[in-house]
Amino acid sequence: MKRVLLLIAAFCLLCGFRKVSPEQIARDVIQRTESHFNVTEHAELYKYVRMDSKGVVAQGEMLIIFRYGKDEAHGIFRLLPDDDNEGVTLISRQSPNQLPELSHYDDNTDSGGRIGTAQMHTKLGDTDWFFEGIYDDDKMDWIYEKTGSGKYRGHQVQIIEGRYRDPLLQHASGYSYRRILIRPDNDLPVASEFYNDRDEIVYTIDLLHREHFEFDNDPHVRTRQFQIINFREGSTTVMTRIASNWAPNLPPELYNLEFADDWDEETDKMIKNQLMPLN
């Protein structure tokens, strides 16, 4: 089964944050997530297990790579070849106060090219590719507000609601707003929900497992496993990070939008050889 599984939301790698205003809490979460503790580049390998609405199970691996510059953020999302597909590559580039740029290539159909912001939902909306998982929220203009409290899977949570300020980005995303659910006892997010303009839930992402570690002699907490529930498609996907490198020093040409159709299995092998398996 060929499915593109590139739904990595900004909150999927969250760590703790200070007790401050809802606006600052949300931005602090995103900045900590996207900066990856001030690293400038990181590459990670995820294993996914997905069940569709008919009970069919698919498994595979996906590379997620980011490089952060002073004025740009580059992302690479690569569905690795397996028995069901020949590989899919997605490359993004973002600059502050500019619409994101996106290029992709599907080796299964030998087709690809640029995808405009306005085409995001129409071209990728029927798959597990998801606007929220592709772009760096730190470069996008959001409106956040605290909307109250409630319970989620037995936990008392605070709720912060956010939406894109730009109507074009909001339309392209395929959802109207998202809600970040945060445990007040430890200030850690447990999930995020995405709703359409009819207040119907579209996606939920549960943070299932965190790991504690040190970076630059400071303790951190980061999500290692999460679950994506796609209500529109009736599917559930569990993503588990199995290897990583926070200083891979990859060739700069990999981040060029035009490189999407040049990506091959040798590129996959080169990157995987630099990753360190997680215990």
Q: Digits of tens for pLDDT over the chain (279 positions)? A: 433 344 333 333 333 333 456 666 666 655 544 444 567 888 999 999 999 999 999 899 999 898 888 778 888 989 999 888 899 898 988 877 677 788 889 898 998 898 876 666 555 544 444 444 544 555 556 788 777 889 998 889 988 888 877 777 777 677 788 888 888 887 778 888 989 889 999 888 888 887 766 666 776 667 788 898 989 889 999 999 999 998 899 999 999 999 999 999 999 999 999 998 876
Contact 6, 129 (CB under 8 A): yes
Rounded Cα–Cα distance for residues 44 and 63 (Å): 6
Q: Which of 31, 17, 254 is nearest to 139 (CA)?
A: 31
pLDDT at 59: 92
Rounded Cα–Cα distance for residues 196 and 106 (Å): 28
β-strand partners of 225:
209, 240
Task: Give me the half-sphere count of Cα atoms (radius 13 Å) on the Cβ side of residue 166.
Answer: 14
CA dihedral 174, 141, 147, 25 (to 10 degrees): 130
Q: Is 205 exposed, middle or buried (0-12, 13-18, 19+ CB in 10 A)?
A: buried
**Stated pTM of the model:** 0.81
pLDDT at 126: 40
